[in-house]
Amino acid sequence: MMGPKGKLFGLGVGPGDPELITVKALKRLQAAPVVAYPAAKGKKGNALTIVESYLSPKQILLPMIYPVTTEKLPPPFSYEESLRGFYDESAALVAEHLDRGVDVAAICEGDPFFYGSFMYLHDRLALRFETEVVPGVCSMLASASVLGAPLVYRNQVLTVLSGVLSREELADRLRNTEAAAVMKLGTNFDKVRTAIADAGLSDRALYVERATMANQRVVPLAEADPDSVPYFAMIIVPGQKWVA
Instruction: Find residue 61's DSSP bridge partners.
Output: 35
**Judged by CB, which is closer to a second copy: 100, or 218?**
218
Peptide bond into 150 cis (omega under 30): no
Torsion of CA 159, 163, 167, 173, to 10 degrees: 0
**Judged by CB, which is closer to a second copy: 102, or 147?**
147
> Nearest distance from residue 244's CB to a second copy, in Å?
5
- How far from the centroid of its chain's Cα atoms is residue 57's Cα? 26
> Nearest distance from residue 143's CB to a second copy, in Å?
9
Residue ranges that bind a second copy, judged by CB under 8 A: 12, 14-15, 17-24, 26-27, 80, 83-84, 86-87, 111-116, 119-120, 122-123, 126, 131, 133-138, 141-142, 144-145, 148-162, 164-165, 173, 177, 184, 212, 241, 243-244
> Nearest distance from residue 175's CB to a second copy, in Å?
12
Give the C-alpha separation, 131 to 208, whole Å.
34
**Spatial contact of 237 and 152, defined as CB atoms under 8 Å apart:** no
> Nearest distance from residue 203's CB to a second copy, in Å?
18
> Nearest distance from residue 238's CB to a second copy, in Å?
8
**Judged by CB, which is closer to a second copy: 230, or 242?**
242
> Nearest distance from residue 131's CB to a second copy, in Å?
7
Helix pair angle (167-175, 189-198), 10° resolution: 40
- What are the residues whose beta carbons fall under 8 Å from the beta carbon of 69, sequence distance 6 or more? 40
Query: Which run of H or of E encompasses 133?
Result: strand 131-134
**Judged by CB, which is closer to a second copy: 2, or 218?**
218
> Nearest distance from residue 230's CB to a second copy, in Å?
18
Query: Which run of H or of E encompasses 236?
Result: strand 233-237
**Judged by CB, which is closer to a second copy: 60, or 168?**
168
Give the C-alpha separation, 115 to 229, whole Å.
19
**Judged by CB, which is closer to a second copy: 145, or 202?**
145
- How far from the centroid of its chain's Cα atoms is residue 229's Cα? 16
**Judged by CB, which is closer to a second copy: 156, or 216?**
156
Give the C-alpha separation, 51 to 25, whole Å.
10
Instruction: Find residue 177's DSSP bridge partners.
Output: none
